[in-house]
Structure 1
Amino acid sequence: MSNADHKFIRVIKGRRPKVVVIGGGTGLPVVVKSLHDQHADVTAVVTVADDGGSSGIIRDYINVVPPGDIRNVLVALSDMPAVQRDIFQYRFNSKDSFFAGHAIGNLIIAALSEMRGGIFEAVQELSDMMQVDGHVYPASNTPLTLHARFKDGSEVAGEAEITAAGKQIDTVSVTRSNDGEQPVAEPEIIQAIMDADVVVLGPGSLFTSILPNLMIHNLGDAVLKTQAEVIYIVNIMTQKGETDNFTDADHVRVLNRHMKENFVDTVLVNIEKVPAGSLDEDKYVEISKPVRSDYQGLRDMGCRVISSDFLELRDGGVFHDGRKVAQEIMNLAFQSHLKKGR
């Protein structure tokens, strides 16, 4: 750790850096857990527009917010003994027509949501039970439907349908699934964003994991208004049906266009080459190819670029190294805290 980093730590001694991470999918718990391990005060805001897999089936049966991403983030921030976390994550392999493929945690979240009349209060109660160090907030207290308009002018509703359409997405929006009205984020989310040292977007699917959160108007407005440093973790690989042939700057352009201003302050970009043959294409069918760099395009939008080897290869997949990413986020949080004079 550098002398400058020690200086930052002394300035905020007794107060952990406040980091809000917004997103969904497999990348979110990796970053959240690494930030937790580095003693950040983490608030995770999790997308609730997922309509696939176990989460989608449960949502169709009992009309609750899809619990899968929330479950993984709860476990990432939990200080429960490992055996209890493993039970929560256990996925049935029974041939039973209902339980097969479901994670116990998904069923618990769904049950508690019914008991408490909504996902938000259910997750707060479950956070206490699971000894969560930090906060886990569903982006909305009700299930959301994701809508996409494609470049050819056609429109589709539903995350799975949007990805399967195989068309170039122009814009996305969200509505409440039960009545088609505009969703609203809970006040706790808005306050966390306004109080944060840094707000982190990603890593995750641009159109189906990150933007659905920002399209909740009061949540998106808070991201625009906060004094926190807004950080975007650029995906290492493009995603079929969403970001084919995108550069890192293209990702940020889409974010800025949806929010109607250049709001991303810093981008984290992986520069380590992905070795040929390292991706199991049968297992990760949605992954396309490495994201190309356009540093000038990023700078033209006012972004500070932090490029490093953030690559981790495991399980036949291409991922961000959570520890390295969290270290950069922590450094930026310390700097942001000093800049605001807190």
Structure 2
Amino acid sequence: MTKDRIGRKRPKIVVIGGGTGLPVILNGLRSHNVDITAVVTVADDGGSSGVIRDYINVVPPGDIRNVLVALSNMPDVYKKIFQYRFNSNDQFFSGHAIGNLIIAALSEMDDRGIFDAVQELSALMKIEGHVYPASDVPLTLNAKFTDGTSLAGESHISAAGKTIKRVWVTSIDDVEPHAKEEVITAIMEADQIVLGPGSLFTSILPNLMISNVGQAVCQTNAEVVYICNIMTQKGETEHFTDADHVRILNEHLGKKFIDTVLVNTEPVPKDYLDRQKYDEYLYQVAYDFNGLRDQGCRVISDNFLELRDHGVFHNGTQVVSELMRLIGRPKSWYADELN
């Protein structure tokens, strides 16, 4: 644990993932006396991030941009500028966020790469904690489906409408992807590792499929907590229970490495979800307590639901309160409880 200005120990929490769920947890953690590190996926190939990646071959910046804003102490007006997305009809700028362009420019300057660029930008944005891209080079997500076919590219995988059997990541130069040493050190020195919330196959697993990241998560003495999704996702986790989510994670890393899983058991009101706006969500994830226990993890079930804008989200305050309650307990504590 690190220490704060008056000598109190600050728990080290590493949050791994991507998408819109990660900033929710990071915003909640900021109100607590903890040392935060966010490890962010770099396998996105859709939207503004995908276009920038195709044009100048840099790590897709969208998820990194959102995490930087979540941890930034800049005035709100600067955050708003950084997040501004062009709505003009210009063929290039339309749909791009200013922050994405700044991250891409910094990573291209002096060939410094995305990792060093994000560290420099973190200082400029007065980041509270650390933001680490999972890899310093763009990665491609690959998937094999249960029908034996394979596809490359996150957006293509999600749109295929097939059941995913397994995923893995590759780099453009066919060199085995590795995370920077700072990422591995953060995981090994952490008191708690938090996975999610986020898309199982396209936000969480792409990080864990980087070999030294997956190995570190399995070897760390930190408690590994998985925040299970509330809704199933089209093209990814159709008909999945919460136990299925944990099983897939464990199968990909070859061991039962999840210590604790947080699952929402509060029902989503019928007809509340705007299915046109949130068209990737299908049904509420079914609760399978016995299946979760079979995966060797501690189960914490509660009302983690937040309803707003006719969408279904995790209640960041409630989830973070549970994470703080769990912090610092050794892995042996979980083994004793399961026996």
Regarding TM over 0.5, the answer is yes
Q: Quick check: 2:68–2:127 contact (8 Å CA) kept in 1?
A: yes
Aligned counterpart in structure 1 of residue 290 of structure 2, from 296, 299, 305: 296
Q: Quick check: 1:40–1:330 contact (8 Å CA) kept in 2?
A: no
Q: Which consecutive residues of structure 1, in runs of 5 or more, have no partner in the other structure?
A: 1-8
> What CA distance in whole angstroms lies between the structure 1 residues aligned with 2:83 and 2:110?
22
Q: Compute the RMSD of aligned alpha carbons.
A: 1.7
Instruction: Say whether 1:136 aligns with 2:144.
Output: no
Paired letter, 1:133: E
Aligned counterpart in structure 2 of residue 311 of structure 1, from 291, 305, 309: 305
TM-score (norm 1): 0.94
Q: Offset of 1:139 from its aligned partner? A: 0.3
Q: Which residue of 2 aligns with 1:196?
A: 190
* Secondary structure, counterpart of 1:170 in structure 2: strand
What CA deviation, in whole Å up to 9, does each residue of 1:81-123 have, x standing for no partner? 1111111111111111111111110000000000142100000
Instruction: Say whether 1:122 aligns with 2:117.
Output: yes
Q: Offset of 1:38 from its aligned partner? A: 2.1
Q: Which residue of 2 aligns with 1:53?
A: 47
Aligned counterpart in structure 2 of residue 173 of structure 1, from 163, 168, 173: 168
Q: Which consecutive residues of structure 2, in runs of 5 or more, have no partner in the other structure?
A: 334-339
> What CA distance in whole angstroms lies between the structure 2 residues aligned with 1:131 and 1:78?
6
Q: Which residue of 2 aligns with 1:149?
A: 144
Q: Quick check: 2:223–2:331 contact (8 Å CA) kept in 1?
A: no
Q: Quick check: 1:38–1:326 contact (8 Å CA) kept in 2?
A: no
Instruction: Say whether 1:162 aligns with 2:150.
Output: no
Q: Which residue of 2 aligns with 1:98?
A: 92
> What CA distance in whole angstroms lies between the structure 2 residues aligned with 1:329 and 1:291?
21
TM-score (norm 2): 0.94
* Secondary structure, counterpart of 2:116 in structure 1: helix
> What CA distance in whole angstroms lies between the structure 1 residues aligned with 2:278 and 2:219?
37
Q: How many residues align?
A: 329
> What CA distance in whole angstroms lies between the structure 1 residues aligned with 2:220 and 2:17?
17
Q: Which residue of 2 aligns with 1:84?
A: 78
> What CA distance in whole angstroms lies between the structure 1 residues aligned with 2:44 and 2:267?
31
> What CA distance in whole angstroms lies between the structure 1 residues aligned with 2:75 and 2:330?
34
Q: Percent identity?
A: 66
Change (3 A) 1:326 1:338: farther
Change (3 A) 1:32 1:169: same
Q: Which residue of 1 aligns with 2:247?
A: 253
Aligned counterpart in structure 2 of residue 226 of structure 1, from 220, 229, 233: 220
> What CA distance in whole angstroms lies between the structure 2 residues aligned with 1:223 and 1:200?
10
Paired letter, 1:68: G
Runs (4+) off by over 6 Å: none
* Secondary structure, counterpart of 1:125 in structure 2: helix
